[in-house]
Chains A and B, each alone.
Chain A
């Protein structure tokens, strides 16, 4: 296997890619930090940026850190209502009770437009509102969700642990998006490497030697190739995520690790804390990347030409992502597309998805479903591609 690994890594373009991605991870961390912005006070126009902004936000959260009880919510609401202008009210409330106006808005907004919090009597039913809002969302697109699906979603939504533990959580939302960006870049690297995995010998005119080895040897070589690909993607993914996480969270901090993601993603039905969600995303992203690379390698085993496999790989991997965005397909096809590995990289979308998938006896949410699908693809490719590779080499 180490020899096959060397074959991958000794190419100039792979070295360039790896260097680029590792430096890129650092750059993404710095850019994400710099993207924080916070007004010094609601009245001032001076905006703090980067680390200073994070520290200011954190100091504001001091007043409200801890369990978000109904008492606190009502307190914030009363304060909000004491200021007549909606813009001013939400700016000022955001200073004293940071993050709460956003939550109230998500909890009480009508299906269209924003909530008029001035008309709201009290926030006593706050912890029941996520079910109401999810029902509203589902009612807006009735064809998209089946009856069983609705039931499961509502059930999961009402099972979420309350009260929420409130703390500064702005860094997580941005972190999730940046993680997606890293994964997209790594996915391109996986496609590139996968698209040459099985045609390397042919393109170096060595396949004649391979043909003399016999089938079982060829299969063994092919399996080693797959393992080498997995090792390559895993190492790259691990290094990149580690570099990013260390640099980013060293500055932004890990506050709200134990808070429910619902304080940032009100309508999510995933029973996760921000920290757990981050780890889950990293794992789903990693397995999805493995699946992408291996799937492209499967095409390569059959076509035996790198550039053509690259083109097919790009089309096959990215097409489901584009097709999901276009709204023209029936729900069942859209659901199938959103199950594909490339969508495993879009962490935030998966957290917010309200779809339920049924595998054998289990109902699972989108994130788990993508993970299971990617694992199936991995297993399938691992079994099939050595045979394809062997046959194609011997035939020609």
Chain B
């Protein structure tokens, strides 16, 4: 196996791509963090801070409103809003006293997709805040014009939403979007990288004109070589994956901490209408697990295709056509929803956690009502097992 590993980690192409990926993993979070702008209001004046200073300001701001977010608190915010005539004046005062809470009100009460110009004053009271998520989810469906598709699964969606823990617990969560964006991008790069590696695993000997030696040994031994190749590939890609995950996570966590680990994912503004009952920490763990399974899945598909075609460039293209459309075309206009639902659970979309978190699909496939990530795991693991069993045999046969 060690010898199989050596065949590709000494390869110039692999080294170049590896350097590129590690560069991305370092630069991306640093860039996102340095570009981040935080605004706060003090005595009616705006204070703007960028980068790390902004984050520490954001943290002290959040400390003012830390703890569980109940209707009483939100009603106080509303009362403060209504005590001023001027919109800007009331916004400034609320942001000074209850920083960030207007965001929750906007997310919960603004007509979906029209958050921009929404006037918080028009909310009569926030007594039903705890039940607004399902209302907003229904609005989201209505807005997308796909009521027909979701009509049947609406009760299931309601059941899923009722499992979300309430009330929300407010903590500083500003570092998470950056962490997730950086990881998502890095993982996508690793997926492309694994395509490049897997597409020459089985054709390496042939392209070096060494396949005659391989074909002269016994079939069982050839199958053994196939397994060793798979093992070497999985170990190498997993190592790259682990290194990148550690780099990105430590760049974000070391200066900013892991506050918000135990709060609901709905605290992230992007995920207010998520069906998931995970905490942010759970989401982070699952995000890593899903991306890893997905990337291994992609590399095994590449390995399988390469075992069949025995030509690097050809298998690269065929694998790309098989694997990438669910990723690239997922959010394209005019894509039918059932296809989007199928696309979401394909291996490559394991790298796209926000797609899973934001989707409203409930999969009812005989195993109970499941959300996309559970189905994703089932599908990816089955796919991996099948490919691990099949590919070495195919490799052995195709060599003859």
Given contacts A203-B207, A326-B31, contact A13 B321 (CB under 8 A): no
Decide yes or no whether B12 CB sits under 8 A from chain A: yes
B209–A205 contact, CB under 8 A?
Answer: yes
Query: Size band of the B side of the interface?
Result: 20 to 34
B371 to chain A, nearest CB (A): 28
B91 to chain A, nearest CB (A): 14
A16–B12 contact, CB under 8 A?
Answer: no
Residues on B with C-beta less than 8 A from A11 are: 313-314
- Which residues of B246-271 have CB atoms within 8 Å of chain A's CB atoms? none
A12–B12 contact, CB under 8 A?
Answer: no
Given contacts A11-B313, A11-B314, contact A31 B13 (CB under 8 A): no
B318–A16 contact, CB under 8 A?
Answer: yes
> How many residues of chain A get a CB closer than 8 Å to chain B's CBs?
33
Q: In the complex the two chains form, what is the Cα distance from A307 to B14 in whole Å?
A: 9
Residues on A with C-beta less than 8 A from B117 are: 86, 114
Decide yes or no whether A58 CB sits under 8 A from chain B: no
B31–A328 contact, CB under 8 A?
Answer: yes
A31–B317 contact, CB under 8 A?
Answer: no
B314–A47 contact, CB under 8 A?
Answer: no
Identify the closest chain A residue to B316 (Cβ).
A13
Residues on A with C-beta less than 8 A from B332 are: 31
Q: In the complex the two chains form, what is the Cα distance from A114 to B317 in whole Å?
A: 45
Mark B194-209 against chain A: 1 for CB-CB distance below 8 A, else 0. 0010001000000101
- Which residues of B113-149 have CB atoms within 8 Å of chain A's CB atoms? 114, 117, 145
A47–B145 contact, CB under 8 A?
Answer: yes
* Dominant SS among interface residues on chain B: helix
Decide yes or no whether A122 CB sits under 8 A from chain B: no
Q: In the complex the two chains form, what is the Cα distance from A35 to B333 in whole Å?
A: 6
Decide yes or no whether A327 CB sits under 8 A from chain B: yes
Decide yes or no whether A192 CB sits under 8 A from chain B: yes
Identify the closest chain B residue to A309 (Cβ).
B13
Q: In the complex the two chains form, what is the Cα distance from A68 to B31 in whole Å?
A: 45
Residues on A with C-beta less than 8 A from B196 are: 307, 310-311
Residues on B with C-beta less than 8 A from A310 are: 13, 196
Residues on B with C-beta less than 8 A from A192 are: 313, 316-317
Decide yes or no whether B311 CB sits under 8 A from chain A: yes
Residues on B with C-beta less than 8 A from A86 are: 117
Q: In the complex the two chains form, what is the Cα distance from A307 to B321 in whole Å?
A: 19
Decide yes or no whether B17 CB sits under 8 A from chain A: yes
B303 to chain A, nearest CB (A): 16
Residues on B with C-beta less than 8 A from A305 are: 12-13
Residues on B with C-beta less than 8 A from A17 are: 317
Mark A152-180 against chain B: 1 for CB-CB distance below 8 A, else 0. 00000000000000000000000000000
B313–A196 contact, CB under 8 A?
Answer: yes
Decide yes or no whether B9 CB sits under 8 A from chain A: no
Q: In the complex the two chains form, what is the Cα distance from A13 to B332 in whole Å?
A: 27
A315–B145 contact, CB under 8 A?
Answer: no
Decide yes or no whether A115 CB sits under 8 A from chain B: no
B314–A13 contact, CB under 8 A?
Answer: yes
Decide yes or no whether B334 CB sits under 8 A from chain A: yes
Decide yes or no whether B216 CB sits under 8 A from chain A: no
Q: In the complex the two chains form, what is the Cα distance from A227 to B121 in whole Å?
A: 68
Mark A186-207 against chain B: 1 for CB-CB distance below 8 A, else 0. 0000001000100000010100
Residues on A with C-beta less than 8 A from B311 are: 12-13
> Which residue of B16, B200, B207, B317 contacts A16 across the interface (Cβ within 8 Å)?
B317
Mark B320-342 against chain A: 1 for CB-CB distance below 8 A, else 0. 01000000000011100000000
Mark B9-40 against chain A: 1 for CB-CB distance below 8 A, else 0. 00111101100100000010001001100000
Residues on A with C-beta less than 8 A from B313 are: 11, 13, 192, 196, 306
- Which residues of A298-316 have CB atoms within 8 Å of chain B's CB atoms? 303, 305-308, 310-312, 314-315
Mark B201-245 against chain A: 1 for CB-CB distance below 8 A, else 0. 000000101000000000000000000000000000000000000
B10 to chain A, nearest CB (A): 12
- Given contacts A196-B313, A311-B20, could you give 16 more A-B pairs where the C-beta distance is less than 8 Å? A11-B314, A13-B316, A16-B314, A16-B317, A16-B321, A35-B334, A45-B145, A49-B334, A192-B316, A305-B13, A306-B313, A307-B12, A307-B196, A308-B13, A311-B196, A319-B20
Which B residues contact A (CB, under 8 angstroms)?
11-14, 16-17, 20, 27, 31, 34-35, 114, 117, 145, 196, 200, 207, 209, 309, 311-314, 316-318, 321, 332-334
Instruction: List 8 interface pairs A-B (beta carbons < 8 Å), by A numbering.
Output: A12-B314, A13-B314, A17-B317, A303-B12, A306-B313, A307-B196, A311-B13, A319-B20
Nearest 6 interchain pairs by C-beta: A308-B12, A307-B13, A34-B334, A35-B333, A311-B13, A13-B314
